[in-house]
């Protein structure tokens, strides 16, 4: 059995978790656990809640640790039970992984020091604050560390991980079973393809404030003052 443990916290971007979970649940011998501080429903960023299947105390030892992101990461950075769980789970995990801004929770747990990583494009400049160097890409591997870019990149990361665990043929079969063959109606999925005007407008309306809040949360710690 391969124990796959996802960390759940308020304000998570649900696709950061459910996208990889849909893929990884089909890994032969997989058992997926969603762990949170309590078994109470946890609000996501999509207007509905998710139900954990275990608490941090009752979750199994993780072979694969998965940390999603979301606007709730800024608050989760100061949640010591969550950070302690991530740090402890990573000690015995074969793979330590994140999607989107989940990378900063790995970083707060001390798991990105000197490592190459990626995250959502709007936050990539903050990775040095957790000891990481930013490597552009939808999926970045550094030893047993796999980090994914923003949101939908979690599906790519999960297929990459399946290939590492069970071979490319298994990963391709899972991709086929999910009919994962993206052909988006618009070519606007990255700053490069969206263009400067649209990217700057989105930064101004959403991500300037969100990134500033993340930076403040990252700096609000002993040894890294404001």
Confidence at 223, pLDDT banded by 50, 70, 90:
very low
* pLDDT score at 124: 98
* pLDDT score at 189: 97
Check whether 221 has a pLDDT greater than 90.
no
> Which two tokens mark 192?
């490069």
Report how far residue 139's alpha carbon sits from residue 120's, in angstroms, rounded to the nearest whole number.
11
CA distances to 56, 126, 136, 208 from 191, in Å? 37, 17, 12, 15
The model's pLDDT over 20-65, given as tens digits with 9 standing for 90+, comes to 999 999 999 999 999 999 999 999 999 999 999 999 999 999 999 9
Whether the pTM exceeds 0.75: the reply is yes
* pLDDT score at 220: 86
Mean pLDDT over 83-103 rounds to 98
The model's pLDDT over 112-160, given as tens digits with 9 standing for 90+, comes to 999 999 999 999 999 999 999 999 999 999 999 999 999 999 999 999 9
CA distances to 141, 145, 174, 180 from 171, in Å? 17, 19, 5, 11
Check whether 196 has a pLDDT greater than 80.
yes
Query: Which residue among the candidates 8, 36, 100, 171 is catalytic per the annotation?
Result: 100
* pLDDT score at 45: 96
Give the percent of the chain with pLDDT over 90. Answer: 97
- C-beta separation of 154 from 68 below 8 A: yes
Q: Is 66 a catalytic residue?
A: no
* pLDDT score at 98: 98
98: helix, coil or strand? strand
> Which two tokens mark 216?
């403040």
Check whether 216 has a pLDDT greater than 80.
yes
Q: Which fold has domain 2-183?
A: Rossmann fold (3.40.50)
The closest of 160, 115, 120, 159 to 137, measured between CA atoms, is 120
Average pLDDT, the chain: 96
H/E run at residue 50: strand 49-50
């Amino acid at each position: 059995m391969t124990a796959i443990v996802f960390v759940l916290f308020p304000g998570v971007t649900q696709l950061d978790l459910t996208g990889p979970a849909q893929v990884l649940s089909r890994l032969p011998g997989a058992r997926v656990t969603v762990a949170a501080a309590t078994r109470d429903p946890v609000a996501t960023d999509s207007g509905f809640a998710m139900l954990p299947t275990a608490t941090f105390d009752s979750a199994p030892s993780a072979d694969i640790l998965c940390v999603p992101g979301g606007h709730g990461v800024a608050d989760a950075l100061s949640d010591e039970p969550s950070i302690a769980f991530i740090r402890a789970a990573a000690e015995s995990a074969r793979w330590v992984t994140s999607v989107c801004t989940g990378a900063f929770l790995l970083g707060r747990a001390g798991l990105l020091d000197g490592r190459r990583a990626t995250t959502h494009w709007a936050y990539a400049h903050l990775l040095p604050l957790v000891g990481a160097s930013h490597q552009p890409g939808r999926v970045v591997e550094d030893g047993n560390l796999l980090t994914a870019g923003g949101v939908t990149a979690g599906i790519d990361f999960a297929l990459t991980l399946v290939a590492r665990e069970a071979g490319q043929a298994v990963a391709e079969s899972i991709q086929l079973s999910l009919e994962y063959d993206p052909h988006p109606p618009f070519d606007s999925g990255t700053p490069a393809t969206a263009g400067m005007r649209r990217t700057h407008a989105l930064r101004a309306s959403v991500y300037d404030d969100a990134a500033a809040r993340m930076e403040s949360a990252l700096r609000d710690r002993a040894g890294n003052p404001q």
